[in-house]
Structure 1
Amino acid sequence: MEDLVQQGRDGGARQHTGEKAYPPPVHSDPLLDKLRELSELKREIDTQIELLVAYGRHFMRPRPYQLARIADAGNLSISGARAMSNRKRTREEVARNLERNDIRGNIGPSVTPDREESLAILERYAPKGTT
């Protein structure tokens, strides 16, 4: 396949391979640097919110938080909170990190390399005595 080259905004050439590839910056651009930094921070926060929503809905004992309360606290719509809490991948990650099943026994723990990071998030933000 022939490589396609396109001029970037800064005049530098980029090779297109089907994935987003950004050339290393020749000079620092404070605005773009800050946008990249905030975008990464937003992804991290979104991940934390997703883990906590799943935890509150599927792992909280003796009973889970009400969907409306979670949605309100997370500034989410009820349907958005429901969709977020029902993501199997997220529920599996929470189960692995807590090393226990969800309250219905549908999702159970298994080993993951991200366990320590996610467990630290849950321990930091979950109400005391619930993890």
Structure 2
Amino acid sequence: MNPIEELAALRHPLPEPGSVTPADCFIDACEQVAEQREEEASRLEAASEALRVDPLLLALEDLRAQKEAVDARIRWMLAYGREFFGNRPYGLEELARHAGYSFSGVRTAYGEKEVQGVAEQIGRAPNRPSRHNAAGGTKG
């Protein structure tokens, strides 16, 4: 394998035997990963040549952007759980446990920006005035 193919292999690892359900789909899953690797290698090579940037650095930048996007979605989910869900908000401890945050981390993870983003996406206002807005918020 050349370095670009190796990077594509790291971005798209083959499934472990026994990890695919139903088991008779394992070969199909491996073939799908092989196709993803080919597409990734082609994309990475083209981008690297066009931008004259090391492919490893491009792959890292892409992963960082994906991580930031996931982190933003987690903050939206926390805002939803605390500000929009049901008659009572989810508890800080429960959200923290499932999101991988500390108890106090949930409280400061989202702010008015995230509350507004959730409201726009679901088409309604929070169940109550945002505590973050009243308290000056830490984010947003």
Q: Does 1:97 align with 2:121?
A: yes
Residue aligning to 1:122: none
1:74 is aligned to 99
CA-CA distance at 1:102 after TM superposition: 1.0
Aligned AA (2:89) = P
Q: Which residue of 2 aligns with 1:61?
A: 86
The residue identity in structure 2 corresponding to 1:66 is G
State the shift of 1:58 in Å: 0.5
Give, in angstroms, the shift of residue 79 of structure 1: 1.3
Q: Aligned to 2:89, what secondary structure does the other structure show? A: coil
Secondary structure in 2 matching 1:63: coil
Which ranges in structure 2 are unaligned for 5 or more consecutive residues? Answer: 1-49, 131-140
More strand by proportion, 1 or 2?
Answer: 1
Looking at structure 2, the residues matched to 93 and 32 of structure 1 have their Cα atoms a distance apart, in angstroms, of 31
1:104-115 paired onto structure 2 within 5 Å? 104=128, 106=129
Structure 1: give runs of 5+ residues left out of the alignment: 1-23, 108-131
Q: In 1, Cα distance between the equivalents of 2:120 and 2:62?
A: 29
RMSD (Å), alpha carbons: 1.6
Equivalent of 2:64 in 39, 50, 61: 39
Q: Distance in 2 between matches of 1:49 and 1:84?
A: 9
Partner deviation per Cα, 1:85-124 (whole Å, 9 max, x = no partner)? 4x011111111222222111x25xxxxxxxxxxxxxxxxx
- Point out 4+ residue stretches in structure 1 off by more than 2 angstroms: none
Letter aligned with residue 51 of structure 1: W
CA distance in 2, matches of 1:96, 1:58: 13
SS at match of 2:126: coil
**Quick one: distance in 1 between partners of 2:64 and 2:54?**
15
Distance in 2 between residues matched to 1:39 and 1:78, nearest whole Å: 25
Distance 1:54 1:45 in 2: 14
TM-score (norm 1): 0.56
Alignment of 1:112-123 (within 5 A): none
